[in-house]
Structure 1
Amino acid sequence: MNHRDTPETDRPEIPARLLVHALVREDGTVDTGELYAVAGLLTMTDQQVRLCVKRLVTEGRFTQEGRGGKAVLRATAADVTGAIAPDTDHVRHAYRQDHGLAPWDSTWHLFAFAVPESRRTARDALRGTLLHLGAAPVQGGLYVSANPIAELVEARARHLGVLDTVTFLTSTDLRIGDTDDPRRLAAAIWPLDEIAARHERLAAIARASADQLSQGGSPSGIERLTLAVELAAEFTRAMTPDPLLPPELLPQPWPGSRARRLAQECWTALRSLPTAPDTPMSPPRLFRIYGDAITQPDGQ
């Protein structure tokens, strides 16, 4: 199996920093031999990896024992894989939607806030939370979500000390101008074309990886790591900005459902391969995190 057969244009762009995070094992270490090997399959140069490691050590995110490909990096924070790890609740909700287990109740959840300029940092943080949770701006200071996220928004606003500036309301008859049809509203409020394009790319990566696994022969442990990192990186890229709109609000068929199904099938195939001779004794925690999120979603 030759991982380099994959066309460069079809492969996800993975920063060296993200690769280091992806290879953190359960004990918080990174084997630099594996790091350089996977980086090579991803067409990164040794110089890129060395500079990245140096920056991470300088920033205090890792400590380094040894040199070069025989060194061991040790993470200084427990959540170091956060840059690539999935939000398990978010992912499982997506699969529940895909299987018709989370129907929409026709309720829009709206949030209005007026945080003063003197508290700009808190205002930006609250706005970032709303966007992260899938809400979108309707107009200045007014955000809408199709999912019940009020409890999470309230907790964040309380933590930031701006809860008294936030208004919470729900509606079943939202209208913007002359538009009140829910599906047309969703298309006007959220960038559905961009979201769909990210999922189309995830589907292409998952399909290409599955094809490689079915071509015969058994991929080496390093090749498996590389496929897993590529799939995880593209899955994160597609899912992190996905508002997970209910199927009732989306064009059908929706590429997100197909992409998640292909990713699940590919990840299951990766995990079912017989152990390769060069498989690391302690696989990256990425395998467990994604295995739990993608292959064991609630409701299946």
Structure 2
Amino acid sequence: MRDVEISTRTLVHGMVRHDATVDAGELYAVAAELGMSDQQVRLCVGRLVREGSFSQEGRGRGAVLRVTADAWPSFAPAVEFVRHAFRQDRGLAPWDGTWHLVAFAVPESARAARDGLRETILRLGGAPVQGGLYVSANAWEDLVEARARELGVADGVTYALSRDLRVGGERDPRALAAALWPLDDVAARHRRLAAVAKPRLVRLGAPEELSRTELLTVAIELASEFTRAMDPDPLLPPELLPSPWPGAQARDLLARCWSHLLRRDGPAGPAVLFRLYADVVREVAPPV
């Protein structure tokens, strides 16, 4: 049994190349390496085409899937968030002690916009303090405001900064962070990422040649586990986290894996992910 659970949808998304296409032959080869059947892949591709996120040219293993124009923006990962995480790990983004607060009051008649704004705030690492009030340790005002304007609710959003946040009677920053964010769950996800990255780092660093399918499989496994770890991570500064923090170790291991993938084969990794992250990897990982 493999140590990484990957859905067929995640696999297809991870195989998207820099030209917005997926080679079906490579897709089926990697799927087999991951223990997926051809039928699973066919059904998933059919769903994605019906949803309108992909078009298909040709049939079977000779087909080419192409991301549609409407779906393409969603395939660009948040590179700046990854860069910020690595900067924090290296002590290059120290916390200045400022809490960034956002509150919103959106009427029931605009429920969809309200839900969309809340989803964005949570995705940016905001923690709910109480009804309609959220806090972050990072400067997020521009990102929240941009989303609020997209949704047409910018007039209902309030921003504030504080160096003296108290929730109930608690004002110690580390204690507040532990109370407001699910740090145990975030730490567990990073420990899992580290456990997945370690054996793959050994494999990538060994002198034995790996086939393109094997390299793609490793890349997909790492990308999937990295996404699973980073999605709920509020990217709190080290000053607010337990020490040692498993996120820093996991990202260091992952960067080393990325470096090996970039060295072994330029286009071997899922290009949308690895080409966009390449600059970050070169900044943070030692040469291999």
Alignment TM-score, normalising by the size of structure 1: 0.89
Whether 2:120 is the aligned partner of 1:161: answer: no
Q: 1:76 aligns with which of 48, 58, 68?
A: 68
- CA contact under 8 A between 1:113 and 1:141: conserved in structure 2? yes
Among candidates 83, 88, 103, match of residue 97 of structure 1: 88
Q: Give the count of matched residue pairs.
A: 285
Residue 215 of structure 1, CA deviation: 4.2
Q: Any conservation in 1 of the 2:103–2:157 contact (CA below 8 Å)?
A: yes
Contact 1:86 1:236 in 2 (8 A): no
State the identity %.
61
> Which sections of structure 2, spanning at least 5 residues, go unmatched?
none
Verify the 8 A CA contact 1:38 1:225 in the aligned structure 2: yes
Residue 208 (structure 1) shift = 1.7
Q: Tell me the secondary structure at the aligned position of residue 121 of structure 1.
A: helix
Task: Check 1:187–1:40 CA distance in 2 against 1; reply closer, same or farther (3 A cut).
Answer: same
In 2, distance between residues paired with 1:78 and 1:271?
A: 29
Question: Counterparts of 2:265 and 2:16 in 1: how far apart (Å)?
Answer: 22
Tell me how far 1:96 sits from its aligned partner: 0.8
Residues 295, 95 of structure 1: alpha-carbon distance in 2 compared, 3 angstrom cutoff: same
Shift of 1:102: 0.7
Checking the alignment, whether the CA contact within 8 Å between 1:21 and 1:81 is kept in structure 2 is: no
Structure 2 Cα separation of the partners of residues 274 and 159 of structure 1: 40
Matches within 5 A, 1:100-179: 100-179=91-170
Residue 290 (structure 1) shift: 2.9
| Correspondence 1:284 to 2:271 | yes
Check the 8 A contact 2:191/2:250 in 1, yes or no: yes
Counterparts of 2:271 and 2:95 in 1: how far apart (Å)?
37
1:196 pairs with 2:183: no
Contact 1:203 1:259 in 2 (8 A): yes
3-state SS of paired residue (1:217): coil
Aligned to 1:4: none
Aligned to 2:233: 242
Residue matched to 2:51: 59
- Whether the 8 Å CA contact 2:14–2:270 is kept in 1: the answer is no
Checking the alignment, whether the CA contact within 8 Å between 1:22 and 1:81 is kept in structure 2 is: no
Q: Which amino acid aligns with 2:224?
A: A
Does the CA-based 8 Å contact 2:77-2:273 persist in structure 1?
Answer: no
Q: List gaps (5 residues or longer) in structure 1.
A: 1-6
The within-5 A match list for 1:180-195 is: 180-195=171-186
Tell whether the 8 Å contact from 1:109 to 1:144 is kept in structure 2 after alignment. yes
Q: 1:294 aligns with which of 267, 281, 284?
A: 281
Q: CA RMSD in A?
A: 2.1
Hey, what does 2:15 align to over in structure 1? 23
Q: Is the 2:53–2:71 Cα contact (8 Å) retained in structure 1?
A: no
Displacement of 1:240:
2.0
> Per the alignment, do residues 47 and 274 of structure 1 end up closer, same or farther by CA in structure 2, a change over 3 Å counting?
closer
1:253 matched to 2:244? The reply is yes
1:213 correspondence with 2:200:
no
Alignment partners' CA distance in 2, 1:171 and 1:254: 25
**TM-score (structure 2 length as normaliser):** 0.92
